[in-house]
Amino acid sequence: MMKDKIYKEGKTHKSKILPSDPSGSLDDFSKVVVFIDNAYLIRLKKFFFENGLRYSIKSLVKNIAKRDNLRIEKIFLYDAPPYQSNNPNLKEKSMKETYDIFIERYKKEGIIVREGRTQRLKVGDFFKYRQKGVDMLLGIDMVSILKDYSFLKKVVLLIGDSDFVPVVEKLNSLNVKIILWTYFDRDRNSPFSRSNHLLKSVFRYTKLTKEDFLGDEK
């Protein structure tokens, strides 16, 4: 099956990429569920703001959705608590306390938080930490979401990982259109450099900008 060509519609936001609909029109405030990889969002925030930034995830999502003519039905956030040893040291305890404060705030805002775990690996004289089970939870929820939200015609992903392409293609086969909110560049040494595989798999995508965060500064 031949894919739709992708082009940039001049009348829309400068970072919005649309499929080849010559009218450039979007559905009037389509209802969507948003899935967010929080580790990716945090990494992107640090990339834009070296000195940090206070912002509201819910406000950020709502503002981008409004610009895209989307109405948010529910927000799912995926993360993993910081690693805790059997006898946590002061640094581990502090990191967990800070994490718990943010997670509780998200839950009070009505965001559904789904958590994996953090694995610690020793490599030489150093420890490396990586999340486990988070991508699996996100993928499972994406496919099963239609059981509770059968009216959905579109789903938003705020991610940057091409490993989600098979799940995107599965939802495509179920006639659910995927809208991607992401950031990328063409510098191969950048953590945000990637192939076009993920971009080509979705219905349309919006390239996030620094201004998206600034609009929600507290």
User: What 8-state DSSP symbol labels residue 202?
Assistant: S
What is the three-class DSSP state of 144?
A: helix
> What pLDDT is recorded for position 16?
54
Residues in the chain: 218
Residue 23 has pLDDT above 80, yes or no: no
Confidence (pLDDT) at 122? 83
Question: What does the pLDDT average to over 177-181?
Answer: 96
Q: Is 24 exposed, middle or buried (0-12, 13-18, 19+ CB in 10 A)?
A: middle
Whether the pTM exceeds 0.85: the reply is: no
Which domains can be identified in the chain, with CATH numbers? 30-213 (3.40.50.1010)
131-165 pLDDT, tens digit each: 999 999 999 999 999 888 888 999 999 999 888 99
pLDDT at 10 over 90: no
pLDDT score of 4 more than 70: no
Stronger pLDDT, 120 or 188, i.e. the higher one: 120
